[in-house]
Amino acid sequence: MAPVIDKLARLSVVLTGLALAASGALRAEDGAAFFEKRVRPLLAQQCYACHSQAGNVAMGGLKLDSREGLLAGGGRGPALTPGKPAESLLLTAIRHVDEKLQMPPTGKLPDADIATLAEWVEMGAPWGTASAQAEPASQTWWSFVPPSEPTIPSVKNQQWVRSPIDAFVLAKLEEKGLQPAPPADKRTLIRRATFDLIGLPPTPKEIHDFLADDSPQAFARVIDRLLASPRYGERWGRHWLDVARYADSNGLDENLVYKNAFRYRDYVIAAFNKDKPFDRFLHEQLAGDLLPPSDDLETMYERWTATGFLSLGAKMLAEDDPVKMQMDIVDEQLDTTARAFMGLTMGCARCHDHKFDPIPTADYYAMAGIFKSSKTMENFNVVARWHEYVLAPEDDRRRLAEHEQRIEDKGKAIGKISKAENHRLVTAAWEKTGDYLLAADAVLRERTIELEPLGMNAAVRRDAGSFDEGNVRREVNKGETNVPEKTEGPFFAEYAVEVPAAGDYQLDFLNQETGKGTADLHINGVKMAEGAEAVANRAASPDAGGWTVAGVFALEAGKNTIRLEHAARFPYFEAFGLTPSPLPAGKGPRTPLQIARQYDVKPGFLEQWVERLNRSKGAPASVLFAWHAFNAGESLAGWASPAAQAFGEWPVASREELAARYQTLFSRAAAEWRTIHPEAAVDFTKNERYKDAAEDPGLPDAGLEVYRKLLYEKFGPFRPPSDARQYYPEQARAQIKQLEQERKDLEASTPEYPRAMGVREGTEISDIPIHVRGSHWTLGDVTPRRFLTAIAGDAQPPLPEAESGRLQLARWMTRPDHPLTSRVIANRFWRWHFGRGIVSSTDNFGRLGQKPVNQPLLDWLALRFVEDGWSMKAMHRRIMLSSAYQMSSRYDERAAEIDPENDLLWRMRRQRLDAEPMRDAIVSFSDDLDLEMGGSIMTFKDRQYVANTAAKGAIDYNRNLRTVYLPVVRSSMYDVLRAFDFADPSVANGDRNATVVAPQALFMMNGQVVLEHSRRMAENLLARGDLDDAGRVRYAFERVLSRLPDANELDRAQTFVAEVDRALADRVDDAAERKAQAWQSFCKALIGSNEFLYVN
């Protein structure tokens, strides 16, 4: 029996093994099926666009389209641990439990999808048998696939179809059981088309001509007439100027005037009027200077001007890191170019791979190299200067360049002297650190002495205009200049005053102008204060009557002289008063100048030391912590700075001993630094500081290094003060004065030529390395200049070594097979005609944008656009001659329930007028619209600072030019534009908002434009002797609303005018004036109506 039993046992083992093997195979097969059916589609949809081998995108180094890629992981380590969901980074990321690791970035997955992935990892993360290939990035999002010829759909309502556009629109409507709105009536249609194409209302004659034309070509003739009008370019050029972030000033930190930006604006308007093919329009804006040369100078000037597109952006002109400034400008150019022409946001790829679109950081820097190899700026100084073309023949440009070089040489010579003298000043100041600390401490302690103005009861009072000697005006209103014309400084007013006894006297000023640039105070020939301002922390109390304290000063018995002086201007004040000081003798607060004189330190450096010492209060990491600890009678226990290591014994006996201790430490730090860097200049830019070192290496002694750093602190106490020149030796000052006069004479004799902002090839053509996390201090691999690999692929021919690549970039963007450019501009045209794009996110065709509501229609338009030679006017005709464009705006309740946002276009959208056509229309109603084209009304000089549009001497917007010709000042927009949703001129924007806010209603009721032109319109109506009151109402209705009033409106309008006339009888005696005001009220009511503001 035993052998039998053994055999049965062996058989049992075999059968069990077979069963287990079969079970394992079954589970493996189930795992593979689970992966293929439920996991791979989820990964493909949510992850492969940014993390796949086949898609050529591995953001963060992570690839999710193979099991090996998941196990290898990315920068954070393996993405999963098979069998352990809780330990798998993939699950941590999708569960959004870690704020710093949340995927996908577009939002958390549904719970069911998270559960699927958790179950898969729990199973051991089985992989499928199918080829683990992700779709290429260009195939995972619709916009990266080139448009293909769509099939024109069949529709039931063939009679409605005038063009393929209608077939595409109607097919979508019929899918939902919807029908398009009926056609618009002819009055509505001509008003829509006229505002649409030229930004103005149709005239009554134009309306009547269209109504009288019964031919099938009547509307086509209207379109052709409008497209031929110069007004067309002014309206549609303005659309493009939104995209090009056009402005007449820089904005940001230094809002300097772009005096010549208007030439780019005029170029754009002319391009639309001439129907410049859009591909050439693009080429000229990105690389007009690189196109084949033309014998026609005007053509060359036009091309140079076109490159202003790249130069118009806002820039941080006072950025003191020149490399960062340059890269910021490159970033702005690259992001604007990508948004404007390709509908892509590239800016975020500066610091990391794009989180949503297949744009790795390497692609960003590959394209950034193209723009960095171009010249946008003349220099990257503080404040930097942008490049401008001189629009003149070559010989004239050469002579001008030589002349400007002589001017520049004078500036360099001045800079060389100043640099050497600043070096001398700063190193000398280092040796007096202890004195500066004592002086700064004294200033801060003097500020604590409280004084109240005594000017109301002054013992001696003098009015400002009663000076005994002086060269300023005696009578002047506040806000006016006291300085006479053709008078050279210094400007001064000197007063002889008598006091009965020697002693300390408090000096108060009445209604004194404050701020930088006020006058210096001299008493008996000694300068007591630089800038006769109110003493810090002693502002006038509410009952002081406008008096403020200037300080307490020792005067002699009898006659004393008080002199106020300034080199270039003079402060406003009404009077000053002298009163015996209420404080004990000698206890009055001294001015910083008096204290500087006591400690033999420079007032300019002292001012900076006061600010630095005050700022370090309560800062345990500050190198000056010990100073404040001494003043407070505390220990150094809380000193959280390496400076404590080198400080030595504590406590010290006196401030003087403490100052000497600091002096020793700063001197040691300076001496050791000069030993390491004997040639280092005392310059507060990193490049000069460490000429012989790639970076700041620091001193070996960490404690002493903290003291050394204060010597070079960027905004620290030892930077050369603004008034440094007054401390130079007489010889140096004389040399600088002579050089400045020579430079001034050269500048005065500079020949004047037209100029245009623009970009040209740089002198250094090179590829640039990846800037890790966007910082130019941490560089990665060099990336060859090329185009987006998601579109152009990896096998791109290298760009020429001696060329930036701008021209090649422009030509690549306009290739017929480029998936984005033609779509983006076609969609912009659709949006500007219909109020919303087929892709509603007009500036973003990436994953964060919206998908097209009708992609076949968009692709058809894009293909026809290229087929028509990129003709913009042909695109208008195609769109406007469609039934879709000519629909009415009639509301349909059933359609609104099915498609509440009108995405399918079952009716024409009702659109609020943009700011420009609204204002232009109002001005046109009074027949005052000035149709002069081009030029600039900016009165500022090029690169002059423009604070705001309300300041004295600011821009006068009360002009009757078309709004497109009014200046756009960044940071201070014309109030009409600001109220009515003008696009932010600092960023590309092809989709303006249309808000409804209170300031709009206030403008329509009381705005200067409305008041002025409604009055002029009323006067014109009353001057029409051929019209009775009913005729005037009809004419006004047709002029403003493009229709005639019905009988009820006609009656109510005449009643309204009559009632207003009667209501004014008690206030206005003149009958003609009453009538004019009554008709003005009627015109205002029409202009303020929704029917005027909205286009059906």
Strongest mean pLDDT among 7-16, 96-105, 561-570: 561-570
Mean pLDDT value across residues 441-465: 90
Torsional class of 553: left (φ above 0), alpha (ψ -120 to 50), beta (otherwise): beta
d(CA 782, CA 779): 8
Structural contact between residues 237 and 964, judged by C-beta atoms closer than 8 angstroms: yes
Which H helix or E strand runs over 425?
Answer: helix 394-430
Mean pLDDT value across residues 778-797: 94
Cis peptide before 900 (omega within 30 of 0): no
Confidence of residue 685 (pLDDT cuts 50, 70, 90): very low
pLDDT tens per residue, range 816-846 = 999 999 999 999 999 999 999 999 999 999 9
> In 639-762, where do the E strands start and end?
755-757, 760-761
**φ and ψ at residue 979, rounded to 5 degrees:** -70, -30
Joined together, the tokens standing for residue 979 give 């109220």
Poorest-pLDDT segment among 40-44, 148-152, 417-421: 40-44
| pLDDT score recorded for residue 483 | 59
101 pairs with which residues across the strands? 98
Query: In degrees to the nearest 10, what's the CA dihedral of 361, 363, 369, 374?
Result: -120
Poorest-pLDDT segment among 255-259, 341-345, 680-684, 759-763: 680-684
Name residues whose C-beta falls within 8 Å of residue 833's C-beta, 6 or more positions apart in sequence. Answer: 196, 876, 879, 880, 885
- Whether the predicted pLDDT of 131 surpasses 90: no
pLDDT tens per residue, range 165-203 = 999 999 999 999 999 999 999 999 999 999 999 999 999
- Whether the predicted pLDDT of 536 surpasses 70: no
User: In 3D, which of 561, 550, 530, 535 has the Cα closest to residue 726?
Assistant: 530
Joined together, the tokens standing for residue 1006 give 């009381």
Confidence of residue 950 (pLDDT cuts 50, 70, 90): very low
- The reported pTM is 0.76
Which H helix or E strand runs over 824?
Answer: helix 821-834
677 or 64: which leads in pLDDT: 64
Give the chain's length: 1096
d(CA 594, CA 526): 10
User: In 3D, which of 435, 434, 438 has the Cα closest to residue 707?
Assistant: 434
| pLDDT score recorded for residue 908 | 97
718 or 134: which leads in pLDDT: 718
| pLDDT score recorded for residue 519 | 79
d(CA 507, CA 434): 32
| pLDDT score recorded for residue 28 | 44
Structural contact between residues 567 and 512, judged by C-beta atoms closer than 8 angstroms: no
| pLDDT score recorded for residue 415 | 92
* Percent residues over pLDDT 90 in the chain: 69
Burial class (CB in 10 A: 0-12, 13-18, 19+), 106: exposed
pLDDT tens per residue, range 1041-1096 = 999 999 999 999 999 999 999 999 999 999 999 999 999 999 999 999 999 999 99
Mean pLDDT value across residues 378-383: 92
Evaluate the CA torsion angle 431, 432, 437, 443 in order and state its sign.
negative
- Whether the predicted pLDDT of 961 surpasses 80: yes
Mean pLDDT value across residues 725-736: 96
Mean per-residue pLDDT of the chain: 89
Structural contact between residues 809 and 787, judged by C-beta atoms closer than 8 angstroms: yes
Which H helix or E strand runs over 977?
Answer: helix 975-979
| pLDDT score recorded for residue 698 | 78
| pLDDT score recorded for residue 133 | 41
Strands 911-912 and 755-757: unpaired
374 pairs with which residues across the strands? 761
pLDDT tens per residue, range 594-638 = 999 999 999 999 999 999 999 999 999 999 999 999 999 999 999
423 or 819: which leads in pLDDT: 819
Confidence of residue 477 (pLDDT cuts 50, 70, 90): low
| pLDDT score recorded for residue 948 | 54
**φ and ψ at residue 647, rounded to 5 degrees:** -75, -45
DSSP, residue by residue, 32-77: HHHIIIIIHHHHHHHTTTTEETTTTEEGGG---SSHHHHHH-BTTB
Poorest-pLDDT segment among 258-262, 292-296, 678-682, 919-923: 678-682
Burial class (CB in 10 A: 0-12, 13-18, 19+), 293: exposed
Structural contact between residues 504 and 588, judged by C-beta atoms closer than 8 angstroms: yes
